[in-house]
Amino acid sequence: MKKYLDLLRVKHYLKNILVFTPIFFNQTLFTEKFAIALIGFFSLCLISSTVYILNDIQDAPKDRLHPTKRFRPIADGSIHILQARVIGGFCLFLSLTLSYLAGGVSGLLLILMYFVLNVSYSFGLKNQPLIDVIILASGFIIRVIYGAALSQIPISGWLYLTIWTGAFYMGLGKRRNEIARQGSMKETRTVLRYYSYSFLDKNMYVCIALSIVFYAMWAVEHESVLFIWSVPILMILLMKYSLDIEGDSDGDPIEVITHDKVLILLIVAFVAYLGYIIYA
């Protein structure tokens, strides 16, 4: 069972929680809109698993040379490629069906956009400098747009910018740490040949600064002064995340978060504080 969970990358389903962002900030989390967003969440989980399976099939030869990726089910041979294709095809069909039921044509088009963009990434665009990071960041923002489309709720421009820059920060940080861990060995990820550690380091911290500024601009738009106090909480959270990726980490956001209990506690505290302000 574990090999199939690893194939689907269940741990990375955490990213899809972003689909609930619109209803959370719109004070409709505890309404019928939650059920629609939940269907969207499952649809995103299934489509992301499809993408991961296609990517693992494509990258299997290079993954076998990687210190950690060589243990992935397709790379180590524990799951046959034909099995993986059948599972991926089923996930794709189910995802498209759920998306259409939850959001109609607009939901279906957005989930297809996510799929096409990520498949393009897997089959070549991940080797193009900057484009690879843009696609990684786009995955986060599409999740929010998808959630907004399903629930028919508009999102503040400041929040969109906060998520964009935060996603760029994590994407650049992932590439930077891949360079740091692999040194001059670029066999496992071609695009690393085009980046330098200093370029990625400088730009990721520009993005984190912008993310804090954009969030602060969103916070000051509200009448309640309590929103302002969420800004330092976010700053502490991001500093703790930065401290983690400065250590022995490959920079993958999910791996960083799930391996740090203090960081998880800070995220819970941040969300809980916002939830108190918005709903209490």
> What is the pLDDT at residue 186?
53
Unique residue bearing structure tokens 């994407």: 171
> What is the pLDDT at residue 187?
57
> What is the pLDDT at residue 229?
95
Query: In angstroms, rounded to a whole number, what is the distance separating the alpha carbons of residues 120 and 115?
Result: 8
Those residues whose C-beta lies under 8 Å from the C-beta of residue 276, and which sit 6 or more positions away, are: none
Below-50 pLDDT ranges, the chain: 184-185
> What is the pLDDT at residue 184?
45
CB atoms inside a 10 Å sphere around CB 239: 12
- Copy the structure tokens of residue 245: 């990726």
Residue 45, CB-side half-sphere exposure with 13 Å CA sphere: 16
> What is the pLDDT at residue 218?
94
SS3 105: helix
Residue 2 in contact with residue 128, Cβ under 8 Å?
A: no
